[in-house]
Structure formats: C-alpha cells, structure tokens
Copies of this chain bind each other. A is one copy, B any other.
Amino acid sequence: MSEAPAGGLEIARLSTSDVDFEARLDALLAWEGVSDHEVQRRVADILEAVKTRGDAAVVEASNRFDRLSASNMAELTLGPDRLREAFEGLPEAQREALATAAERVRRYHEHQKPETWSYTEADGTVLGQQVTPLDRAGIYVPGGKAAYPSSVLMNALPAHVAGVGEIVMVVPTPDGVLNELVLAAAHLAGVDHVFTIGGAQAVAALAYGTETVPRVDKIVGPGNIYVATAKRAVFGQVGIDMIAGPSEILVVSDGGTDPDWLAMDLFSQAEHDEDAQSILVSWDDAHLEAVAESMARQLPTMEREAIIRTSLSERGALIRCRDRGEAVALLNRIAPEHLELSVADPEAWLPEVRHAGAVFMGRYTAEALGDYCAGPNHVLPTSGTARFSSPLGVYDFQKRSSLIGCSAEGASALGRTASVLARGESLTAHARSAEYRIRD
C-alpha cells in the first residue's frame, strides 16, 4: 500500500499482507536513544565535578545551562511553604482537578503494596521475605515545555504510598521560570524538598549527595539525553527507573468506535513531540479510511498541528490486518506503552495480551483519562520494553530482604546437603561452616 496523503494527512499505510510488511514494521518501530561519545564525555565531566565539588559545581552548571545567576544552592531550593503557596494560589478548577487526580492515583497505588511474608517448616525453620521502603527517593521532573504536573503526581505518589522516608524533587527552571502547577503537584504528592536544578548536574547531586542535596537511593523520572546518559552512568550507585524513549500508542479497533474519537486519541499521543508514535490497527478497511478522513479533517483545528503532523508522517501508521488473531499477534510483537483496545469485549482479549505497559479497555477508555486521573501510573515502559518491564509503581520504591531462620534440626539437615554441594564447588570453608551445624 502507499503512503499517499489522505486529504492532506501524511501517514504510513501498512497491511499485514504486504510482502515487505515485516521490514516496514521493523523500520517503523526502530528507535535508538542516541548518546554519542561527545554527550557521554560531557556528562562524565559534570558527574565528576559534582562528585568532587558538590554544591559549587551544581550552581555553576545550573547558571550555565539554565541561564541563571544563582550564587548558592539556597537560591535553588524551595521549601514546603513555597509548594503549599503554589497549590493555594491555583484557580479553583485546577486545584480541584489536581486533588481529584492525586486521590485516585493514591488509591490505585495502595493496591500495589507487596506484603512481608514467611512460612515455617515442620522442623521449625522459618523462611520468608521482608518488604521495606527506600529511605530516600529522587524525582526528576523535566523543565521547559515538558514540565507536567501530572508527572509529578505519577512519580512521587507511588514513593509516598510505599512509605519512602524522604522524597526529593529536582526540576530545572530554564531562564528562572517556575511552573506553579508543578510545584502545586509536588505539594499534593508529599514531596519534601524541591531543588530547581536539572540535567546531568541534578542527577549527580541526587546520586552522590552534596552539602545541600541529600544523596538518594533511587532516581526516577524522564529527561533529555543528558539526563538519560547520567542516569545510566550512576546506575548501581543508586537505583534508576527505565530509560524512557518517546511515548507511543497502539489503538486496536474493531470498527465500532467513532472515528473522530480515535483520531483524537491518536493525536493526543502525537502532540507530545515529533518522535511520539501513534499506530492504529484494524481489520476493517472502511473504518481505517474513516479514521484517516477524520484525522485529515480535524488536524487543522489542533493547537499543536505542526507537531502532530510531523509525528504522524514520520512515525505514525494505519495498519490493516486480516482479523482479530493478527491484531493480537501484532500487539504482542509491538509491546506498546499504551494499548487501546477499542473493541466490543476487551476483557475477552486480556488473556492474550502478553506485553503492554497499560491496557485501555473499551471505547470509552481514552488514553488521556489514564494519563491524568484514572489511577494507574502514566510512567510506562516504552519502545517495546513492556516485554520485560512494568509501569512505575509502589514496588519501585520498596525492596525485599530474604529471611532465613534455621532451627537446630533444620540446620543439621540442610548442612548435609550444603556440604555436598559446597565440596562440589571446591568451596571448603562453605562446607565446614555448614558442617559445624550438623548434629551427631
């Protein structure tokens, strides 16, 4: 099939019956976050500077990259009072919407708390796992055009629900511009401190600690290539969440959803940025055509028309498949961040959905509802990483410790087995340590 514009809309048209379908799909899905040697070198320099010179290096880098003129970290620090002021200063509608979203997100995440467990064996040996929260978490919030209050809620609330002792947020303020909604969200989400710093210098400050910024145990939140490179570099020193790629949606439609709704759902993904990806799959030709027409018609009315247009023409696609079975195979192959099952009986599809960050079920469940306030997290695995990773959750801010308590009898029995295996590995101190606990 061709990529011919549909009434002014440029978007790839694929069919699973095309001979080159696999190759075209591969090309469409290909994404590699480019971190060249130059970026790595610059990030390494910043990390080293912050590690050795602390606050001074953070202030210098912030002044330079965010065009500020701060003389110390105190000027780049916001306390809880400032966050509360931001919340109280919002128009009522925004204040209420933010509070509603926070409450729903909190409630959903309460369901995610893993429990400490243990069991006792016949000989009295106790085995289990103890779950504890992190002492301190760092939330990276991008500045500028991608400063989203909803992201503050989605990153900080799971940490709060997990029982994290202290939540530290960093958000750059290019040219000194503060986003009041972001600060208000931080207030609602239980953030303890905010530092108005960003980039690799903020990641370094959180990972190593400075005179002012406390060292955290894990850093979460999206950022540009410098932030992603810095996070990858400090991984191990601290925990990190996934390195996020561009946002994507895969809509599977059975033809029964209003084409205008679906067009707007695809736009909502495409408007994020030029790299965002919107794909629609259906086995209904006329329906695909109707959605394409609606997109062409509605596109000129969009505020972010230019971004949407680029995103759709460079990374979007309408894919015709043969039937429901092929749609299932496709969605598992793509492992999308967002999967909209715009079909009559989405529950029936679930057992076959192996890989997806979030599943939006049915015609009413627009992804946008999940982005803001349905409850589940909007920080989701991108670029096919739903094959092996999960939405950000309470479990990301907790960790487990194995518990092993052997009774005298249990130690004696286990000691015999351990001794044989340890000697098989030529680890005789292991063997003798176990043998000391054998009776008789």
Which A residues lie at the B interface, using CB under 8 A? Answer: 33, 93-94, 96-98, 100-101, 108, 111-112, 114, 117, 119, 125-130, 132, 134-135, 148-150, 181, 217-218, 232, 235-236, 238-239, 242-243, 258, 260-261, 264-265, 267-268, 270-272, 302-304, 308, 339, 346-347, 350, 353-362, 364-377, 380-381, 383, 385-391, 393, 395, 399-408, 410-411, 414-418, 420-422, 424-434, 436-437
| CB-defined contacts of A399 to chain B, threshold 8 Å | 355, 381, 386-390
> Given A353-B130, A376-B127, are A97 and B417 also a contact pair (CB < 8 Å)?
yes
The answer to whether B364 touches A433, judged by C-beta atoms less than 8 angstroms apart, is no
Q: What does DSSP make chain A's interface, helix, strand, loop or mixed?
A: mixed
> Given A355-B132, A402-B358, are A417 and B235 also a contact pair (CB < 8 Å)?
no
The answer to whether B127 touches A261, judged by C-beta atoms less than 8 angstroms apart, is no
With a 10 A CB-CB cut-off, give which of A347, A388, A391, A426 has the most chain B CB atoms: A388
| CB-defined contacts of A357 to chain B, threshold 8 Å | 401-402
A–B complex contacts, Cβ < 8 Å, 10 sampled: A96-B420, A100-B417, A127-B374, A239-B385, A267-B429, A270-B429, A361-B405, A362-B405, A376-B402, A380-B402
The answer to whether A433 touches B264, judged by C-beta atoms less than 8 angstroms apart, is yes
The answer to whether A437 touches B217, judged by C-beta atoms less than 8 angstroms apart, is no
| CB-defined contacts of A406 to chain B, threshold 8 Å | 361-362, 364-365, 369, 374
Query: For the complex, what is the distance from the CA of A351 to the CA of B117, rounded to whole Å?
Result: 13
| CB-defined contacts of A402 to chain B, threshold 8 Å | 357-359, 370, 376-377, 380, 391
Number of identical monomers bound together in the oligomeric complex: 2
| CB-defined contacts of A347 to chain B, threshold 8 Å | 405
The answer to whether B261 touches A436, judged by C-beta atoms less than 8 angstroms apart, is yes
| CB-defined contacts of A367 to chain B, threshold 8 Å | 433
The answer to whether B93 touches A354, judged by C-beta atoms less than 8 angstroms apart, is no
The answer to whether A418 touches B372, judged by C-beta atoms less than 8 angstroms apart, is yes
> Which residue of B93, B112, B303 contacts A420 across the interface (Cβ within 8 Å)?
B93
The answer to whether A302 touches B424, judged by C-beta atoms less than 8 angstroms apart, is no
> Which residue of B236, B267, B414 contacts A385 across the interface (Cβ within 8 Å)?
B236
> Which residue of B94, B390, B437 contacts A369 across the interface (Cβ within 8 Å)?
B437
The answer to whether A421 touches B373, judged by C-beta atoms less than 8 angstroms apart, is yes
Query: For the complex, what is the distance from the CA of A402 to the CA of B377, rounded to whole Å?
Result: 8
- Minimum C-beta distance from A196 to chain B (A): 19
> Given A117-B111, A369-B418, are A411 and B364 also a contact pair (CB < 8 Å)?
yes
| CB-defined contacts of A418 to chain B, threshold 8 Å | 366, 368-369, 371-373
With a 10 A CB-CB cut-off, give which of A148, A238, A402, A415 has the most chain B CB atoms: A402
| CB-defined contacts of A410 to chain B, threshold 8 Å | 364
User: Which residue of chain B lies nearest to A270 when distances are taken between CB atoms in the complex?
Assistant: B429
| CB-defined contacts of A430 to chain B, threshold 8 Å | 268, 271, 368, 371-372
The answer to whether A400 touches B390, judged by C-beta atoms less than 8 angstroms apart, is yes
| CB-defined contacts of A267 to chain B, threshold 8 Å | 429, 432-433
- Minimum C-beta distance from A71 to chain B (A): 31
The answer to whether A436 touches B366, judged by C-beta atoms less than 8 angstroms apart, is yes
Query: For the complex, what is the distance from the CA of A264 to the CA of B365, rounded to whole Å?
Result: 61
Query: For the complex, what is the distance from the CA of A21 to the CA of B437, rounded to whole Å?
Result: 34
Query: For the complex, what is the distance from the CA of A366 to the CA of B429, rounded to whole Å?
Result: 11
The answer to whether A400 touches B408, judged by C-beta atoms less than 8 angstroms apart, is no
Query: For the complex, what is the distance from the CA of A433 to the CA of B380, rounded to whole Å?
Result: 20
Query: For the complex, what is the distance from the CA of A303 to the CA of B330, rounded to whole Å?
Result: 57
> Given A387-B135, A388-B239, are A437 and B304 also a contact pair (CB < 8 Å)?
no
